[in-house]
Structure 1
Amino acid sequence: MKIFCSVLRLFLLSVIGSSSLIAQYNTKLDWKLHNVGKVRQAITNMGTMNKAATNYPGLINAEFPPNSDEEHLYQGGIWIGGIDSNGDTLVSVTQAHYKNEFYPSANEGDTIWTVQRGDTVQIPYWSNYVGISDQDFVSRYADDNLLNIENHTPLHVEIIQATHTWSSPPVDEFIIYEYKIIPKSPIKDAYIAFWMHSAVGVIYTANFIDEIIKYNREQHLVIAEDVPGGEDGTAISPIGFRVLKPVDPSLRWSMRYYEHETLPTFNTSEYKSMSSGIIDEDRLDQPARAHIILGFGPFQLKVGDTLKVEMAELFGFGLKGLMKNSDYVDFLQSKQFRVPSPPPKPIVSVAIKSHGVTLNWATTKQLVESYVDPNRGDTIKYPFEGYRVYKSTKSTNGPWTLLAEYDTINDIGSNTGLKYDYEDRGLLNNIEYYYAVTSYSREDKVLNFPSQETSISNTAKVITPGTTPPETIGQVSVVPNPYRGDIAYNTYDPPWEKPKGSRSRWLEQDRRIQFVNIPAQCQIKIYTLAGDFVFSIDHDDANKGFEDWNLTSNVGQAVASGIYLFTVEDKANGKVQIGKFVIIK
C-alpha cells in the first residue's frame, strides 16, 4: 500500500508539474493515432508513445489487433545520455517513469505532420519530405525547449522523428520509428536507449504485472510477453522493440529490466543502465512488471552531426507471428521501406434518405484507376484492380462486413466489372451506420507481394439515415417509450446504445432515449411528474429531426424510474407540444 501511495503521489506531482510548465511556455503539444493498419498506436510530439502531457483522450496507447481492447504499452520513448562539454554525465528522456524532458517549441511547424505515401510536403525542418508509408507522422522536439523542468539539465539535443505504418498485409502489424538526433552542443560517449514500460493484456484491469521478458541478441530485439490467464486475460500479441539502425559491430549493447523499487532515477544511474554492456538473462519463470531499458553506443557527437536511428515496434498473432513480422522488417529495410502500394483512396459522396443511403465514388475514378506504382517488381503499368464496399454497425474501426466487390475484367478475380455507386436500403432511421469504399491493386508476382488495399478505417464515413425536420411541432415522440433498464440496448445490431469515445464497454452515461420529429430550431425541456426541472436540450439543425438524451439530469446524476413530462417549443413560431414518457430501471 505504501508503494502504491508513493507511485500515486509521484504521478500527481508529474501531472501538476507538466501542467504548470505548459502554462508557462506555450508549447505546441500535439498527438496523433496510427490507425491505418492493425496497430492503433498513440504518437506525441514529445517523443512519447503514450499521452504524456498532451490531451490524447484514448484509453489505450498501443492496441493490437483493432477492437481487441488489448493494451501493450503503458509508456515508451527514446533516451539520449552522454557527457557534456562541462564533463557532466547527463541523460535526457522523452519518457521515463512519470518523467518527460523533451517538448516541442511554440512554432506553428512543431505540431505533428501527417503525410501519405508518395506525397511531397514542405515541413519547416524537412524540406521536400516524401511520404514513405500509408500514414507517416513527422514531428520535432528538443530537451531544452522547456528550461524549468525539475532536476533536468539538458544535453541540448534536438530530435526529428518520423513514424511509418502500412494499411495492408504483410506490413500492417508493426510501426517503423525513424529518428534524426541533432546535438546543439558536443556530447562525448553518447548512448541511445529505448524505454519500454509494457502493459500487455485487456485494458479493463489494474494488474499488468505478469509479463516475461526475452531478448534476441542477433536482432537487438527485446520482447515483453503476457503470461496466459490472470486478471489481464491471455493476450493475443506480445510487444517488441527492435533496433534496426545503427547496428555496427563496435557498439556496446545493454538490456536491463527493473521493478519499481529498483528503477534508475538519476542521470548517473540512468546512464549506467544504458551503457553498462550488461544483458540481463531472459525472465521466463518470474513474471512481473516490465520496465525495460535497451541501450547502445557510444557515439561521439559534434555540433553539425546527425545521428540516424531506426526502431521497429513489433506485434503479431502470438510470439511466432511477432518473429515473422521481425523477419519481414528485414525485407522492408532491403527495399528502403518502399514496397508496392494500394491505389489512391476513392473520394465518396453520400446521399442520405429515409431508411437508406447511396454511396458514389465516380468523381475520382480516373485518379484511382490510372495510378502508377514505381515500387513494384513487375511490369504492370496500371496495377489497379477494383473497389470494395464495407459496412459496420459498431464503429469506424469495425468490425466490417463486405457488401460488394467490383473488379476489372481481366485474367484474375471474379470479373464483375467496375461500378461506382452502391445503394443500401432497409436501414433504421436516426441510427449511426459506418461505410467505407476502398480500392485495391493486383498482386506483384515478381516480388511475391500480395494485393494492397487502402485502409478501411481511414476511409470510413459515419452515416445517419432519417427524415428532415418537420415544418413545425405536433408529432414529437420519444423512443423507446417506455425505456426499460432490464433491456441490454447496447447488444442490439445496430446497437441502440454504445460507448462514447474510445471506450468499448457500456457505462451508465451511455443510456439513450430519443426525441424524434422535432423542428429545425427548438428547445426540449424535461420535468418530473411533480414538475421539477430535470434537463434541457437546444436543437438547431435543418438536416436533423431528432435529439438524444442520456437519462442524466442537469447536475450530472442518473435519473430514477418514473413518469416524466417533456415540452418542445418551436423557436420559429413559439408553438409548444407537451408529452410524457416512462423510465423503468
Structure 2
Amino acid sequence: MKKILSLITIAILTLSSNLSAQQERFQKTLEDDNSKFTNVGNIAITITNFGVYGHAFSLWPQQPSCEFPIGSGIEHIYDGGLWIGGFKADDSLKTNIRGPFVTTAATDPVDGENGVEFTTAPSSVVRERSSKIESAFFDPAAISHQDFFMEFTDTNRTSSNGELIVAHNPYGVSVRQETYAWDFPFANFFIIFNYWIKNVSNKYLDSVYIGLWTDTVVRNTNVTSPRTGTSFFNKGGNGYNDSLSLGYEFDAAGDVGFTDSYIGIQVLGSDKNYDSTNYTTWQYRSTTDPNLFTPQNDIARYRKLEGYFGGSNRYGYNINPATLKQPSNRSTMVSAGPFDHLAPGDSVNIVFAIVAAKKFGTDLPNLDTEEQKKNLYDNAGWAIRAYNGEDRNGNGILEPEEDLDGDGKITRYILPSPPQNPKVKVVPESRKATIYWDKRAEDSIDPISAKKDFEGYRVYRTNSGFDLTESQDLNKALIKMAEFDSLGNDVGYNTGFSFVEMDEPVVFPNDTTKYYYKYEVNNLLNGWQYLFSVTAFDEGDPENNLGSLESGKLSGINRILPGTPAVEEDDVEVGVYPNPYYGNAYWDGSSERLRKMYFFNLPANCEITIYTLSGDIVDVIEHNSSSNGNDLRWFETFSREGNQIMAGGEHAWDLITRDDQAIATGLYLFTVKNLDSGNIKRGKFLVIK
C-alpha cells in the first residue's frame, strides 16, 4: 500500500466513500513534492513534480487546489495531469508497430490503478524563479513573475519507494515541465503549462497525442465543504469552444450565486505540426451512456486522446453539447495530435493554459450563455497572446517588424508590461492608516516600446467587512481612493504629485527602502481588517495600439488592522472592545471558533490574564508589539497569508479558554502586566450570549 501524502488524506478517506474512491489516484510517496502553488496573480493552483496539478483536496483548506479568485474559497479543480499516448515502432516506416501505450499523471482510478504513472528523481523538488527583481526567487532566466519547473519520467515500473506501478507500460518519455504566472491585471487569470517531451527509448514513438486530463469541479468551499462527498462533485456543466481549443466547466447546480465562474483548459500550440486539437469528457461512474464511460485501459484512453466519446462520436457529431451542460460529475480532456513520430532522442514542445474567469452579465448564474462566456473567451485570448509573444498576428511566421529582440526567432511569452509595482508600506494607527511608497515604478521601461512611459499612481483600499463575504474577489473589493499622475500631457487628470510627495524620503527600521510618497486614510474602524494597494500605470502606446496599462492591484497588498499603538504610560487605562460583547460581534464568522474581541492600550510587551469573578484563570495571553492574531482561527480563515499587521497596542482574543472551551455568559476580570516595567493594570468586560 502506497504511503499517503498526509494525515488529511486519511481523514478524507474515512469521511466519504465517493471521495475515497477518487482519492485513490492521489496516493503518492512522501518523496514527491506537492507543496508549491501559484500565489501571484489571481489564480492559485497546486503544482507538483510528478505531472499532477491540484491536490485532490488532500491539503484543503490549508493549501488551494485551484482557487480563483485568490482568497475566495472558490475551488475549480480536484486534480488533473498530463497524458501522453501513442504507438511504438522499430523505425520511421512503422516496422513492428505496437500499442497504443498511454502514460497518465492522473486519471479516474480503475481496478486498483491510481493513474499516477510518472516518477521523479530522488530528492527532486518543484523549483521556482521569478522575473521580478524584488522577489527572493529572482532569476534573469525567468519567463514570468512566478515560474515553477521540474522534471519527471514514465520509464520506471516502480515508484521511488520500490512499489509496483499497477498496469503501467512505459511509453519511454522524459518530461520537463514549466509553468508561468503573471500578476498583471490583464494576465492574472491564467497559468501556462509548458512541456518538453523527449523520447528516451530506443524505439520510434508514432502517432503521438498529448493532452491534459482534468477533474474539474467549481464549488465555493466556504459554502459547501469538499468533505460532503458525491454531492460536492456532481454539479458541474461542461462545454467546448473549438476556435479557442478550450474545454471548460461551470457550476450548474451547486453553490450557484456564490461561484459564478468558469475554469477552462486550453491548447495553445506546439513547435511541431499536428492535425487537430480534440475535446472529450466522461462521467465519474454512475452512467449508462456509453459516450460518457470512463476509459478502462490504454486502448480506451488513447481513443479519448483522439477526441472520441463512444464509438466514432465526437463533440458536435452525435454528441449534443446541450446534454453536457446538465449537472454531473464529469472530467475534461483537451489534447493535440497526432504528432507523426518521434525518433529516439527527439523532443516535442507543447503548451497548454488553465484559464479562469468570472461570468459576465446578468443572466441566471446556473446557465452557460454566450454573453456569460465573454470574460472566459477574453481571458483565453490573453493566454494565446502571451504564448504568441513576438508573433503578434499568430501566423507562426516572424515578420521583420515583430522581431523585437532581433534574434530572428519567435520569442514567446512577451506581454505588454505596465510599470513595476511600487514598494508599499502601510502603518496602522488608531482609526487611521498611513500609506508610504517608493519611486521604483518611475524608471520602468516597456519591453515593447523600449521607452520609459510611467504616468502615475492609483491608491486602493477595501471596505470594512469585505472579508466576511462568502465569495471574496479582491480585485473587486479593492476600491480606488485616489489617483495622481504626471503633469504636462493629455493622459489622466494632470494632478502632479505634490499632494503626496514628501520633502525628504523616509526609511523605516530594518527596511532600507526610501519611501518618497505618503497618503493618509482617516476614519477607519479599529479592529476591522483593511487591505491597501498602490499601483502604477503608464501613458499607453498608441503606436502599438495599446491603451494605458496598470500594474497589478494584488501585488504587494498590505493587510492591516487599525488600533491603538503600544502604550507605556502608567496612567493610560487598558480596555476591551466590544464591551459588552453581545452574542456575536459584527466581524465574527459563522462558528464559535470565529469570534474575537480586542484588548487595547497594551504595552509593547505584556502578559494578559483573564479571570472569572471567583478568581479562576480563564486564559493567559502573551502579547508583544508584533502580535498579529495568527494564533486565532479567525485570522487563519480570513487572513490566510498570515501577514496582517496590527498597530502594536492591541491583541485579539477568540473567547476560548486555555482548556479549549468557549467562555460562558458572565462578567470577567483581567490584568495586564507590563513585562518591562512590572506595572499591572486591571479591567473587566461583560459577555452576553
TM-score (norm: length of structure 1): 0.81
Correspondences of 1:100-115 after superposition (within 5 Å):
100-102=116-118, 105=121, 107=123, 110-115=125-130
Q: Which residue of 367, 374, 392 corresponds with 2:447?
A: 374
**Residues 1:482 and 2:580 are matched in the alignment:** yes
Kept in 2, the 8 Å contact 1:211–1:290? The answer is yes
Query: By how many angstroms is 1:161 displaced?
Result: 2.6
Matched AA of 1:404? A
Distance change in 2, residues 1:28/1:41 (3 Å)? closer
| Residue of structure 1 in register with 2:275 after alignment | 250
Separation (CA, whole Å) in 1 of partners of 2:657 and 2:165: 43
Q: Which residue of 527, 534, 537 corresponds with 2:611?
A: 527
Separation (CA, whole Å) in 1 of partners of 2:612 and 2:118: 53
Matched AA of 1:391? R
Separation (CA, whole Å) in 2 of partners of 1:276 and 1:373: 42
Query: By how many angstroms is 1:235 displaced?
Result: 4.9
| Residue of structure 2 in register with 1:407 after alignment | 485
State how many pairs are aligned: 551
SS of the aligned residue for 1:162 comes to: strand
**Residues 1:304 and 2:358 are matched in the alignment:** no
Separation (CA, whole Å) in 1 of partners of 2:592 and 2:543: 55
| Residue of structure 1 in register with 2:601 after alignment | 517
| Residue of structure 2 in register with 1:95 after alignment | 106
Kept in 2, the 8 Å contact 1:34–1:42? The answer is no
SS of the aligned residue for 1:459 comes to: coil
| Residue of structure 2 in register with 1:493 after alignment | none
Q: Which residue of 655, 661, 666 corresponds with 1:551?
A: 655
- CA displacement 1:337-379 (0-9 Å, x = unmatched): 31320111112244554443333324xx2x4223222323xxx
Separation (CA, whole Å) in 1 of partners of 2:665 and 2:135: 59
Separation (CA, whole Å) in 2 of partners of 1:313 and 1:322: 11
Query: By how many angstroms is 1:59 displaced?
Result: 6.9
Distance change in 2, residues 1:513/1:351 (3 Å)? closer
Kept in 2, the 8 Å contact 1:438–1:459? The answer is no
Kept in 2, the 8 Å contact 1:89–1:267? The answer is yes
SS of the aligned residue for 1:323 comes to: helix
| Residue of structure 2 in register with 1:214 after alignment | 239
Distance change in 2, residues 1:341/1:570 (3 Å)? same
Kept in 1, the 8 Å contact 2:57–2:65? The answer is no
Q: Which residue of 672, 677, 685 corresponds with 1:568?
A: 672
Separation (CA, whole Å) in 2 of partners of 1:385 and 1:411: 11
Query: By how many angstroms is 1:176 displaced?
Result: 2.5
Matched AA of 1:320? K
- CA displacement 1:205-230 (0-9 Å, x = unmatched): 34442433323444432222443x55
Separation (CA, whole Å) in 1 of partners of 2:536 and 2:152: 36
| Residue of structure 2 in register with 1:293 after alignment | 333
Query: By how many angstroms is 1:88 displaced?
Result: 7.5
Distance change in 2, residues 1:531/1:303 (3 Å)? farther
Query: By how many angstroms is 1:128 displaced?
Result: 5.7
| Residue of structure 2 in register with 1:388 after alignment | 458
Kept in 1, the 8 Å contact 2:609–2:671? The answer is yes
**Residues 1:191 and 2:209 are matched in the alignment:** yes
Distance change in 2, residues 1:51/1:371 (3 Å)? same
| Residue of structure 2 in register with 1:582 after alignment | 686
Matched AA of 1:50? G
Separation (CA, whole Å) in 2 of partners of 1:29 and 1:72: 17
- CA displacement 1:142-196 (0-9 Å, x = unmatched): 4557353652645564433333344445444433222222344356344322112
Distance change in 2, residues 1:74/1:5 (3 Å)? closer
Matched AA of 1:373? D
Kept in 2, the 8 Å contact 1:473–1:570? The answer is no
Kept in 2, the 8 Å contact 1:102–1:142? The answer is yes
| Residue of structure 2 in register with 1:416 after alignment | 495
SS of the aligned residue for 2:322 comes to: strand
Q: Which residue of 141, 145, 148 corresponds with 1:129?
A: 141
Kept in 2, the 8 Å contact 1:245–1:311? The answer is yes
Kept in 2, the 8 Å contact 1:30–1:45? The answer is no
Kept in 2, the 8 Å contact 1:119–1:130? The answer is no
Query: By how many angstroms is 1:384 displaced?
Result: 1.0
Distance change in 2, residues 1:268/1:58 (3 Å)? farther
**Residues 1:358 and 2:430 are matched in the alignment:** no
| Residue of structure 1 in register with 2:7 after alignment | none
Correspondences of 1:126-525 after superposition (within 5 Å):
129-131=141-143, 133-143=144-154, 146=160, 147-148=162-163, 150-151=165-166, 153=168, 155=171, 157-168=173-184, 170-186=186-202, 188-189=205-206, 190-203=208-221, 204-205=223-224, 206-227=231-252, 231-233=255-257, 235-246=259-270, 248-250=273-275, 253=278, 255-261=280-286, 262-264=293-295, 266-267=297-298, 269-275=300-306, 277-278=308-309, 279-280=314-315, 281-285=319-323, 286-299=326-339, 300-316=341-357, 317=360, 318-332=372-386, 333=388, 334-335=391-392, 336-362=412-438, 365=439, 367-376=440-449, 381-392=451-462, 393=464, 394=466, 397=474, 399-409=477-487, 410-418=489-497, 419=501, 420-429=517-526, 431-465=528-562, 466-470=564-568, 475-485=573-583, 487-490=584-587, 497=588, 506-525=590-609
Query: By how many angstroms is 1:49 displaced?
Result: 3.3
Distance change in 2, residues 1:527/1:290 (3 Å)? same
Kept in 1, the 8 Å contact 2:566–2:650? The answer is no
Percentage of identical aligned residues: 30
Where does structure 1 lack aligned partners over 5 or more consecutive residues? 491-496, 499-505
Separation (CA, whole Å) in 2 of partners of 1:35 and 1:122: 13
Farther-moved stretch of structure 1 (418-427 vs 275-284): 275-284
SS of the aligned residue for 2:21 comes to: helix
Matched AA of 1:515? F
Where does structure 2 lack aligned partners over 5 or more consecutive residues? 1-14, 91-97, 225-230, 287-292, 361-371, 393-411, 468-472, 502-516, 627-646
Query: By how many angstroms is 1:482 displaced?
Result: 1.3
- CA displacement 1:67-126 (0-9 Å, x = unmatched): 665433222322223567997865443333474444655547x33414136999999xxx
